[in-house]
Structure formats: C-alpha cells, structure tokens
Amino acid sequence: MILVDKQLQSLRRNTRGSKDKYALLPTKNGKERTITAAPFVLDLLWKTKQAQDANRKSCGNVFRENGLIFTDPVGNRVTPQALYRAFKLVVTELGMKDVRFHDLRHSYAVISLKSGDDVKTVQENLEHATASFTLDTYGHVTEKMKRDSADRMQAFIQSVRS
C-alpha cells in the first residue's frame, strides 16, 4: 500500500535568474489516499530507496534530505523538465515519439477497464469525482470487450441450466 498525502508543488514561477521554489503541500483536493500497488511497483520503489540510501551514504553531508522519493544522486528533486526529457527519450526509442506524458494516465485507465477492473476502483485510483466521468472519458467499448461480455453471459446461462 502507498499513502499519498502530499504533492510537490511550485510556489513561484521561474523568472529570469531565479530558481523555482517548491514545497510538499497537501494534495490537490486536500484528501489523502491509499493506493494498492502491484508488486512490481513496490519492488521498483524498494530498489529506488536502496539506491537513494547508497547515494546518501556515499555523498555524506552533500546529500540533501528532503523527504522525496525520486531524486538525483545527491538528493535534489527531479525537475519537471528532466522528467519530461527522460520520458520523451524513452518513448522516442520505442518509436512512439508523439506520446504525451498524460497519455500514461489514459492508457492506465483504458487498460484497467479492459482488463476487468470495476469502474469504481478505476475511478478511485484516478481520483475522479464520479464513476460516470471515468466511464465517459475512458470506457471505450471494443469488439473484444463485447465478445468477452457475450462469452461471460453464455457461461452464466450454461451454469444455471445445469
């Protein structure tokens, strides 16, 4: 389980010659939430923590303690620009250069629904106000989904006939 109770938020827009200031503040809606993560996500977070601990040890007093999970080797926050550049590098290498960062959220939602996650779970994971918004935005019905539904109905009818 992952508890999300803060977000890293810019306090001031960067003006020429000044650095942005950031702070850990309450989430957008002020509510904390708990995410049940897949085991591979927890493994990646654990490996990230181990790498950060090793960096902390090797850097000594230079390492910046700030409570962040994703940092550079000396503990500084990862900037939005650096994250975006890394993302674009990966998607370009995969031959998908037109993919936007927000497309990850869209893909997660569609794949979750197609895989059989119930809409209420997907709604909560995405922090949408209503399940109808989640379905209207991400509930693309595919031919495979229609076939799977027909197959489930067939299996149900056969089970009650027996």
H or E element at residue 34: strand 33-35
Cα distance between residue 109 and residue 130, in whole Å: 14
* Candidate from 12-16, 18-22, 131-135 with smallest mean pLDDT: 12-16
Rounded to the nearest 10°, the torsion over CA 75, 79, 85, 87 is 80
pLDDT digits (tens, 9 = 90+) for 30-45: 888 888 899 999 999 9
Which among 61, 81, 63, 60 has a CA at the least distance from the CA of 72? 63
Which among 6, 68, 67, 8 has a CA at the least distance from the CA of 33? 6
- Look up tokens 């106000």; give the residue: 129
pTM, to two decimals: 0.70
pLDDT digits (tens, 9 = 90+) for 44-94: 999 999 999 999 999 999 999 988 989 999 999 998 889 999 999 999 999
Tokens (6 digits) for 29: 């809606």
